[in-house]
Amino acid sequence: MDAIQKIGINYQAMGVYLVNFGLLAAVLGKVLYRPVLRLLDERRETIKKNLEEAENLRESFTEELEKQKEKTNTLVASMERDVERTKNEVKKEATELLKKAEAERSEILKEARLHALEMKDSVYSEVSGEILSHVEQVVSSVLEEKVPEDVVRKSVEEVWDKHYTAGKKKLAPSGERLRD
């Protein structure tokens, strides 16, 4: 023991130090350690609650995101159906307009053909009258003193009518001559 005292270690001081440390540890344990542990436990619980809330929010957000995706998909599908229906309606209207335009075109062509035939008949009648008159004059001047003018006129009209009606029968509705 003398050796320990030579080093400078005193047992009484050491005992006092140990009792002092024990008292300090007991007081700090009661006053400081337990409140610090309580604060740490409260902090742990707060963090745990915050993590649970974050997880709940993440799940809620994920569910809401899925609902929004479903709504978006539903809206996109609805819009695609609307676009397809609109395209079909436009095609239908375009077809109807084309049919209507074709019918009007056909009607206009028909009217134009009828008008052309009427004009052709009118011109044919005028020209045939003039030609008949010229033929009568030519024939009258040739046969002036040999055959009476009434007989010549009657003969020319009969021949002309015969050829005129035969010529009209050979004409097709479009105005082209038919081939025999």
Q: pLDDT over 90 for what percent of the chain?
A: 48
Mean pLDDT across the chain: 84
Per-residue pLDDT band for 8 (boundaries 50, 70, 90) equals confident
Q: How many residues does the chain have?
A: 180
Residue 170 · residue 177 · CB < 8 Å? yes
Per-residue pLDDT band for 121 (boundaries 50, 70, 90) equals confident
- Domain borders along the chain are 2-169
d(CA 82, CA 18): 89
Flag whether pLDDT at 138 surpasses 80: no
Residue 136 · residue 152 · CB < 8 Å? yes
d(CA 70, CA 88): 27
Per-residue pLDDT band for 159 (boundaries 50, 70, 90) equals confident
Among residues 29, 3, 22, 26, the alpha carbon closest in space to that of 14 is found at: 22
**Angle subtended at Cα 174 by Cα 169 and Cα 178, rounded to the nearest 5 degrees:** 45
What integer is the mean pLDDT of 167-177?
Answer: 52
User: What is the torsion angle, in degrees rounded to the nearest 10, for the CA atoms of residue 32, residue 38, residue 40 and residue 44?
Assistant: 180
Q: Which residues fall within 8 angstroms of residue 157, CB to CB, at 6 or more apart?
A: 132
- pTM passes above 0.75: no
What integer is the mean pLDDT of 33-42?
Answer: 88
Q: Which residues fall within 8 angstroms of residue 174, CB to CB, at 6 or more apart?
A: 113
Terminal CA-CA length for the chain: 160
Flag whether pLDDT at 139 surpasses 80: no
Residue 79 · residue 86 · CB < 8 Å? no
Across the chain, which distance is largest between two alpha carbons, in Å? 195
Per-residue pLDDT band for 172 (boundaries 50, 70, 90) equals very low
What integer is the mean pLDDT of 99-118?
Answer: 94
- Start-end of H helices in 29-148: 34-142
Per-residue pLDDT band for 51 (boundaries 50, 70, 90) equals very high
Flag whether pLDDT at 24 surpasses 80: yes
Residue with tokens 């015969």: 162
